[in-house]
Chain A
């Protein structure tokens, strides 16, 4: 993005070895990002209140005039900062010509938006119907007790934010807890302390083999709705996900592990690090492309439909380990 052109390419984080955050303006220059599976909201170097009017203006101009553009603008700002700063909302009002109260109304209407800065780690405990009957309220209460905050609040040291959500579209795995984009299925109250501890250590360093947040997903092409699973070529003991890819002049197949949280792939051609791939359905040959960009590296995200509802989005850049289990589509 051109707004970053003035940013120095050497990141102070190289020296500190700190964690990579979603929030800071050094994002494109940060070399840590490709090593981390999932970004956190604030890294050690992030200063509160650091925000750039140019960056927000860029987000606004990208969606201005679009139908429903306001939501996209707010989503963009929230993706950058983890919350909606007041000054950013004022800028949105100014640049879109809408009244501030309209913008504020939309920002307070949707639960996905927050006007308060969140902690470094976000714990979402599902208390939807299916999770509720499997004792999710007790899990939520245990989180409240151990963190000492109510849902919607952030701990004083800005480490944890807690929220309760109503159905994440993964009811079969309930009671489900999502921490920083990692799914913990069938949580009971005894596991709460463990989850909090693991989060503090850094979820991205947890060993795949011992990690219960890794679970298999079964995915479909968003266009022809046919399964992408390839049971004949299992990876890590589960059927792999098979797609066709192209990059540069190469064209071939790619198999991904179907374990959500694992990044093992096999491919026909060697794919150089940092290549952005075009990914196609092997059955209908439609390109699997979505409208969203990777929150970590900015490459397009590739949407895959998950059996049972919802969508998993994977980043199309080789070496970027971002993926989101997106449940907003689950109702549709």
Chain B
């Protein structure tokens, strides 16, 4: 067991526990965006910053990736943390203002406007979809391509992936598109799998143990009948 102090409260956790998990165990709220239970921590959004150590030598670290250390002093809501977190929310809002998830985080932190040039990106590069696809769906169909401002999510050679299972998990976990394709508007349909008479997943043994994330996917409904 590892003993540490979070906001002055003593807590002991197992080795390997992250600061985020320890704080959540104590019921302390920390906003997160790229973190998702069941996926490896990634530390992309920096929203979950906390302050560790004693001022003036304290530092900001991302709690979702930082493992608990013996005797560590952590503050999850110091003035410095809140300032940093608000700035990050403003930056997220500047990129993807349409995201309900980001709007909710902003509201919870009482951020009402942002000071940066407004953009309308359709991806915040949190990597949730990539990790979902690789770790839970064991498909590895999508990933990051390019670098810097050209970085984006895509399939190899920007062509239809041969290994995508059309499970929809990537869309389901995306905090920005928040798109559950239901084929209500055919022109916006993602893959056409439901309109396809041979759905990609039904009656294929390799998908038997798969968790499916497409909420009402027509293919399964047809099969039930």
Determine if B146 and A99 form an interchain contact, defined as CB atoms under 8 angstroms apart. no
Closest A residue to B138 by CB, please name it.
A99
* A193-244 residues at the B interface, CB under 8 angstroms: none
Q: Does A156 sit within 8 A of B, measured CB to CB?
A: no
* Number of chain B residues whose Cβ lies closer than 8 Å to a Cβ of chain A: 14
Determine if A105 and B157 form an interchain contact, defined as CB atoms under 8 angstroms apart. no
**A109–B161 alpha-carbon span in the complex (Å):** 19
Q: Does A269 sit within 8 A of B, measured CB to CB?
A: no
Q: Does B134 sit within 8 A of A, measured CB to CB?
A: yes
Determine if A99 and B140 form an interchain contact, defined as CB atoms under 8 angstroms apart. yes
**A100–B161 alpha-carbon span in the complex (Å):** 10
Interchain nearest-CB distance for A30 vs B (Å): 32
Q: With A105-B144, A108-B145 in contact, do A99 and B157 touch (Cβ < 8 Å)?
A: no
Majority secondary structure of chain B interface residues (helix, strand, loop or mixed): loop
Determine if A109 and B143 form an interchain contact, defined as CB atoms under 8 angstroms apart. no
Determine if A101 and B147 form an interchain contact, defined as CB atoms under 8 angstroms apart. no
Q: Does A89 sit within 8 A of B, measured CB to CB?
A: yes
Partner among A86, A105, A111, A115 whose Cβ is within 8 Å of the Cβ of B143:
A105
Closest B residue to A89 by CB, please name it.
B156
Q: Does B142 sit within 8 A of A, measured CB to CB?
A: yes
Q: With A109-B146, A109-B147 in contact, do A104 and B140 touch (Cβ < 8 Å)?
A: no
Contact bitstring A69-108, B, C-beta under 8 A = 1, else 0: 0000000000000000010010000000001111111001
Which residues of B are in contact with A by a Cβ distance under 8 Å? 134, 140-147, 155-157, 161, 163
Q: With A86-B157, A89-B156, A99-B163 in contact, do A104 and B146 touch (Cβ < 8 Å)?
A: no
**A204–B157 alpha-carbon span in the complex (Å):** 36
Determine if B143 and A99 form an interchain contact, defined as CB atoms under 8 angstroms apart. yes
- Chain B residues near A101 (CB, 8 Å)? 140-143, 155-156, 161
Majority secondary structure of chain A interface residues (helix, strand, loop or mixed): helix
- Chain A residues near B145 (CB, 8 Å)? 104-105, 108-109
**A99–B141 alpha-carbon span in the complex (Å):** 8
What are 26 A-B pairs with beta-carbon distances under 8 A?
A86-B157, A99-B134, A99-B140, A99-B141, A99-B143, A99-B163, A100-B140, A100-B163, A101-B142, A101-B143, A101-B155, A101-B161, A102-B140, A102-B143, A104-B143, A104-B156, A104-B157, A105-B143, A105-B144, A108-B147, A109-B144, A109-B145, A109-B147, A110-B147, A111-B147, A115-B157
- Chain B residues near A105 (CB, 8 Å)? 143-145
- Chain A residues near B143 (CB, 8 Å)? 99, 101-102, 104-105
Interchain nearest-CB distance for A163 vs B (Å): 15
**A104–B147 alpha-carbon span in the complex (Å):** 12
Determine if B146 and A100 form an interchain contact, defined as CB atoms under 8 angstroms apart. no
Closest A residue to B141 by CB, please name it.
A101
- Chain B residues near A99 (CB, 8 Å)? 134, 140-141, 143, 163
Closest B residue to A111 by CB, please name it.
B147
- Chain A residues near B155 (CB, 8 Å)? 101
**A115–B154 alpha-carbon span in the complex (Å):** 15
- Chain A residues near B142 (CB, 8 Å)? 101
Interchain nearest-CB distance for B206 vs A (Å): 16
- Chain B residues near A111 (CB, 8 Å)? 147
